Amino acid sequence: MNDTHASALDRESGEAYFRDALGLLPISIVMLGERGQMLMVNPQTARLFGYECDELIGKPVELLVPALHVDSHVPVRAGLLASQASGDRTALHELSARRNNGTEFQVEIGLNAFHFNDDSVTLAFIIDRTERYELERNRRDLAHLTRVSTVGQLASSLAHELNQPLTAILSNVQAAQRFLAADPIDLAEVREILNDIVQDDYRASEVIRRIRAVVKKGDLEVVSLDLAGIIRDVVMLVRSDAIVRGTRVTLDIEDDLPPVSGDKVQLQQVMLNLLLNAFDAMNDVPPVDRVVSVTLRHESKNMVCIAISDRGHGLTADKLDKIFKPFFTSKPQGLGLGLSISRTIIGMHRGRLWAENNIDRGATFFVALPVGNAMEQDESRERP
């Protein structure tokens, strides 16, 4: 046996070993050629995607993962491995994958380039993330549902608030009709009436804007936020509910606070939940005592803190932590999700949410948030 023959055999058995080894590994692995064509596919991959191994050999990898599109002029290593350009060989890419039957699912893909038999190849490790993605989606749907149901609690008082400008518009239009029937027409009066109608229309659309802003579902938008503006907006949203319940809300906001970075809708959800909880806690106290005070001030150089303080029944020692657990509720119609979701949201904003009993009566809920751009590195998520 000459040397060339021996090394060809070595190579063949080396390849066979390699193929067997890939078959034994418990995850899906695909070996890609320079142009993204599949050179080797282990049985786990074929099973995951609903193909036979042979069917995949030679086909472009984008058949399985459309986002791994390889420009025919750009070698796969250059085209796909942006993560390696940044020096991170183990970075995982979260991408959408497609099965043979057309259904899509989420995967995580790690790409590693190396030399195999003098060829430049890339090993793609594919991890099925369906379950994690479903869990995440359930969590998001739940948070959104809770938000919609919280706003639902406000429905009757919001309908009332909306009804006021609409009634005013109607009676102004009727008055204008009367003026127009007169001879001569008092144009100055008609002009004034039209101005009133425009103002009432603005009032109605403000109510609708505030509702829509909270129930919105969409991409998480991490931006620089004026927390004071968010607090004022939510206080306006619950204003008519507070009036119906005979509750006063006082605001004390420190001037010139730095912005925080975060998602407006999520932070509004937290505020809304804490305010409505405070109202609920005071259902049984005499109306004169039904006051919720909201303050916003610096907690330290890098943190701001919102405090929502009520004069309600307060929290027994065992409840101080329990109330943040999912499904803990003391209300007949409660879901018991508001505080646990709020804590998750504040955690995502790198902040803290906790409760303390007041010295005299009632409880105070604190939300501490970092100023600046603490959350901006996690931007690519979806809002609940």
Interface residues with ligand ADP (CB under 6 A) are 273, 277-278, 281, 310, 312-315, 323, 328-331, 334-340, 363
Return the number of the residue (68 or 363) whose C-beta is nearest ligand ADP. 363
CB of 331 to ligand ADP, least distance (A): 5
CA distance 46 to 176: 74
CA distance 364 to 293: 9
Return the number of the residue (278 or 374) whose C-beta is nearest ligand ADP. 278
Beta strands in the chain (DSSP E): 28-32, 38-41, 92-98, 104-116, 119-128, 223-225, 248-253, 260-262, 291-298, 303-309, 352-357, 363-370
Give Cα 294 distance to the centre of its chain. 25
155-181 vs 130-153: helix crossing angle, rounded to 10 = 50
Max Cα-Cα span within the chain: 119
CB of 191 to ligand ADP, least distance (A): 49
Strand partners for 120: 115
Return the number of the residue (125 or 365) whose C-beta is nearest ligand ADP. 365
CB 184 within 8 A of CB 257: no
CB of 374 to ligand ADP, least distance (A): 25
Return the number of the residue (97 or 275) whose C-beta is nearest ligand ADP. 275
Q: Which residue has the tokens 């869990």?
A: 135
CB of 291 to ligand ADP, least distance (A): 13
Q: Which residue is nearest to ligand ADP (CB)?
A: 338
CB of 329 to ligand ADP, least distance (A): 3
Q: Which residue has the tokens 């912005």?
A: 259
Return the number of the residue (33 or 312) whose C-beta is nearest ligand ADP. 312
CB 252 within 8 A of CB 307: no
CB of 323 to ligand ADP, least distance (A): 4
Return the number of the residue (65 or 355) whose C-beta is nearest ligand ADP. 355
